[in-house]
Amino acid sequence: MSTRLEIVLLLSILLPLCLSRPPDPLGWLFHRHRQEQYFGSLHADTRGGTCPDECDCPPSFPIAMYCDGRGLTAMPSIPSRIKYLYLQNNAITSLPDSALVNATNLVWLLLHHNQLTSDAIDQKVFLKTDGLERLYLQHNNLTSIPPNLPRSLRDLRVNHNMIEKVTPAELDGMDNLTILHLQDNAITDMTTSLKTLKSLTLLDISGNKLTKVPDALPEQLHQFYLESNSINSLPVGFLGGLAQLQYVRMAHNQLTDKGIPPNTFNVTGLVELDLSYNKLERIPSVSTTLQHLYLQANQIKEFTLGSFCAIVDVTNFSKLRTLRLEGNELSMQDIPSESALCLRQAFSIQI
Ligand SMILES: *[C@@H]1O[C@H](CO)[C@@H](O)[C@H](O)[C@H]1NC(C)=O
Ligand SMILES: *[C@@H]1O[C@H](CO)[C@@H](O)[C@H](O)[C@H]1NC(C)=O
Ligand SMILES: *[C@@H]1O[C@H](CO)[C@@H](O)[C@H](O)[C@H]1NC(C)=O
Ligand SMILES: *[C@@H]1O[C@H](CO)[C@@H](O)[C@H](O)[C@H]1NC(C)=O
Ligand SMILES: *[C@@H]1O[C@H](CO)[C@@H](O)[C@H](O)[C@H]1NC(C)=O
């Protein structure tokens, strides 16, 4: 046995003795198989109901229930003490109103990679889970976001489904929602204001069928992913007032110069902007704080230094570190010599 494996084994025996409960349930998931060997004989916790046969409830971490990858086609019964529920990688087809009646303490509900359809999720199933923070429903067969989701959610993942539309009522009042994954669906319409999502920092709506961007974006937004849609134009002041915004990815859309109002991307604070695989003929103006700019595979014909530095002198220079321009109609000769001063921070420029 290698020394490394010995240490891992030793840790997996000692750690549960030192900690009253593991700090991260996912870390626990990783170690649990070995722990069961040593703790399997301890008395099971039956507070709030017994663990169903088809699942595991580790005696030393009795608020977690593991039912992932068991070939389940229906929801198991859930003891009320359970906070962390793992049901991913099954073939569960429905969430009837009764499914979560006893699960009043749920904090995490992981149901990704199942066979859930929107018709088979009852209206009141989430009525009693008012402390639910993390809901994973990605890789199912949903055609809409389930109705009446708990307003306590912080992390909602419904990516890789067949959702066509997002309506304001579905997300309204989710004041604590921080992460929203909607990518790889069939959303055509998102002209709903997302401004009410006061805490949202990550919005991923890439891989949909959007022709327009959402009407108003949440003020705390930090990462905004929109790539692989069919967007050809952006409204004036689209990214204005988003003081926390650092990452914007809009690759693989239909953006043209005409569709981008002046100064759209001249937003202080932006770190990364990906506009590759669009139809731009000019380099749009960007803020001098930008560090990574991806413009490859457009139709850019001229290198406008003014896009990076309105004034070029020793104190005015761009923070740009990466600039990708390959797959355009430019050559090295098109880069003016003053660029050396303006782009002095760059370590990678690809033409
Ligand atoms: C809920 O708890 C009650 C009482 O313990 C039990 O009879 C019922 O079967 C449980 N229902 C579910 C869906 O777990
Ligand atoms: C879910 O979608 C997959 C792939 O399209 C399909 O094979 C499966 O039958 C669907 N399941 C249900 C319950 O509709
Ligand atoms: C949001 O989080 C705060 C702080 O953790 C909590 O007090 C509040 O009840 C939560 N809001 C909702 C709607 O659950
Ligand atoms: C970007 O905006 C600043 C003020 O916010 C302005 O001074 C600067 O000229 C703008 N840059 C370009 C290239 O238009
Ligand atoms: C940029 O250039 C202007 C005009 O020459 C000057 O007033 C300003 O202080 C310079 N530096 C910065 C960081 O803007």
- The count of other CB atoms within 10 Å of the CB of residue 24 is 8
Single out the residue of 114, 162, 112, 107 nearest to residue 133, CA to CA: 107
Q: How far is CA 330 from CA 153, 253, 262, 281, in A?
A: 48, 21, 22, 10
Ligand 1: centre distance to CA 335 (Å): 71
In short, whether 141's Cβ falls inside 6 Å of ligand 2 is yes
Average pLDDT of each block of 10 consecutive residues along the chain (351 residues)?
36 36 44 44 75 94 96 97 98 98 97 98 96 98 96 98 92 96 95 87 98 92 98 94 96 98 94 98 94 97 92 88 96 89 88 86
Q: Does domain 36-145 have CATH number 2.40.30.10?
A: no
Q: What is the pLDDT of residue 351?
A: 86
Do 139 and 161 contact (CB within 8 A), yes or no? yes
**Burial class for 347, CB neighbours closer than 10 Å (0-12, 13-18, 19+):** exposed
Strand partners, 95: 121
Ligand 1: centre distance to CA 251 (Å): 49
Contacts of 143 (CB under 8 A, 6+ apart): 117, 118, 161, 162, 163, 164
Q: How far is CA 345 from CA 112, 141, 288, 308, 324, in A?
A: 43, 47, 11, 12, 14
Which of 288, 289, 315, 319 to mutate to test ligand 5, by most ligand atoms within 8 A of the CB atom?
A: 315
Q: What is the pLDDT of residue 273?
A: 98
Please report, for the chain, the start and end positions of each structural domain, with discontinuous segments joined by +. Answer: 36-145
